[in-house]
Chain A
């Protein structure tokens, strides 16, 4: 369906030694949840992809690297240009990681209330930050980035993760094929959160080409005002241009409280120290699993754990 050039090595099953940071993108582990799924029949499996194993520490390494490489190939990003985007943190960290290694300047619009760990990390990687009004959320950061580009179009390469097809295509050529290989084609359900929607769009489209019966389930916060960092409530947010709501067979709304609860359980019962969006993802996967169990159906459910919990340690909920 899509004629794409793979963004990063796709065929290897183990990582090669002694290569650049860019080779440490993709081929992340897929693990089966054990204790959180004890109540389910053995015929229902939930597998989680551990995306903090990517360079830069999150799933965002995949789209960031693809966006940078494709922009270079198309002459949009070169010496003297500054890469600009709005980010809630992880995409910025990924941009800054690869831009540092390639010698590009990076400027990021980020809400002022992003966690202090993320802001410090971005500055440590050399990114220039434009802190935006916290009352306007991530949409305010998007609007600020658009303003900056409009005022100085020649200065910037506007990466525009919300509208750049190289975002979802990164998952089409990497995340999707990896999941297909790692489950030996047995996947029945893919459950993914919506932020830019790139992960769900790219991974879901690839899996559909391999197995049209795969069920694609999207997750988003149940209410517009929420605490699920990294996820968007689509009905009330600026809708990303790359988002196609018709791809998903089902959409699940996850409450912040439920996601925080599962995030704690992932750490304490599975040894998986994750960010909050990972807790939301597993919440959704468990909900799908429960519905299938009630129908007596077997399933191999795969979901994504976008990042580890280190950048959220200042959040109160870890001590609750």
Chain B
């Protein structure tokens, strides 16, 4: 199965796990499977229209999937996706 790596701010909503195996043949299907396994993640990933929130960055390797085919980007059993948070800190 493909795997999605979970950033630290989202782990409390994903059973504390850092990696979640997911089913699906596209990025969108994998994310939907993730949200199905952990419904508390849904509001962090998707807006009310069911679209990925604009600051949710999903990477396949070093590529933001927005620069590939977005949620339609095909994945394989060996794929590792990462959800990357924005950089906090500052003021």
**What is A's interface to B at a CB cutoff of 8 Å?**
59-60, 86-91, 110-111, 113-115, 134-141, 192-200, 221, 223-233, 236-237, 256-257, 260, 277, 304, 306, 316-317, 320
Contacts and interface: CB of A to CB of B under 8 A. Distances in A.
A232 B43 CA distance: 19
Contacts of A194: 91
Interface centre among B6, B82, B89 (most CB of A within 10 A): B89
Interface stretch (B8-16, B21-29, B31-39, B71-79): B8-16
A200 B91 CA distance: 8
Given A223-B44, A316-B66, A195 B54 contact: no
Contact of B88 (A59, A60, A200, A229): A229
Interface in B62-91: 66, 82-91
Contacts of B57: 113
B82 to A, nearest CB: 6
Contacts of A89: 87, 89-90
Given A90-B90, A134-B82, A224-B9, 18 more contacts: A134-B85, A135-B82, A135-B84, A137-B85, A137-B87, A141-B89, A223-B43, A224-B10, A226-B86, A228-B86, A229-B88, A229-B90, A230-B91, A231-B88, A237-B9, A257-B47, A257-B53, A317-B54
A224 B82 CA distance: 17
A225 B84 CA distance: 9
7 contacts: A86-B89, A91-B89, A113-B84, A134-B82, A135-B84, A195-B89, A257-B54
A229 B91 contact: no
A59 B89 CA distance: 13
A126 B67 CA distance: 31
Interface centre among A138, A199, A277, A306 (most CB of B within 10 A): A138
A84 to B, nearest CB: 15
A87 B9 contact: no
A225 B87 CA distance: 10
Given A227-B54, A316-B66, A137 B91 contact: no
Contacts of A229: 86-88, 90
Contacts of B9: 137, 224-226, 233, 236-237
Nearest to B62: A112
A115 B88 CA distance: 12
